Structure 1
Amino acid sequence: MLKFVKGHLETIDGVAIYPVISLLIFFIFFVALFWWVFTCKKDYLKKVSNIPLEIEKDQPYEK
């Protein structure tokens, strides 16, 4: 199966750039994510982490 796909991909000009582009997108996304995590304000993280635990006074408690 891989030989079938590889054979067709070898006939496409410039196909070698796609793995490079994929790696760059992957790398840039995770670098940006790490940057956001390390520069995020602690107050915001506390507020967001407590959202599932907060119960509105207007909403009845459901079991």
Structure 2
Amino acid sequence: MLKFVKEHMQTIEGIATYPMISLLIFFVFFTLLFWWVITASKGYIKEMGNLPLDNNNPQKR
């Protein structure tokens, strides 16, 4: 089965570009995420961290 898949994948033209595109998307996403974490306001991070513990604003059900 694996041999069939491997041979079939080699017949598709341009198949080598898909792993490169995936790597590029992965790298860009985590680079942007890292940039956001570094530049995020410390007050915002603290506020979001304390949000589950905030008893002054109960959820409406």
TM-score range, shorter chain: 0.7 to 0.9
Q: Return the letter of the residue paired with 2:25.
A: I
The answer for unaligned runs of 5 or more in structure 2 is none
* Partner residue, 1:9: 9
The size of the alignment, in residue pairs, is 59
The reply on whether 1:56 has 2:56 as its aligned counterpart is: yes
User: Runs ≥4 in structure 1, deviation > 6 angstroms?
Assistant: none
Shift of 1:57: 5.8
* Partner residue, 1:18: 18
Deviations 1:12-47 (A, max 9, x none): 110100000000000001000000000000000010
Q: Return the letter of the residue paired with 2:18.
A: Y
Shift of 1:3: 1.9
Q: Return the letter of the residue paired with 2:53.
A: L
Shift of 1:58: 5.8
Q: Distance in 1 between matches of 2:37 and 2:15?
A: 35
Tell me the TM-score normalized by structure 2.
0.85
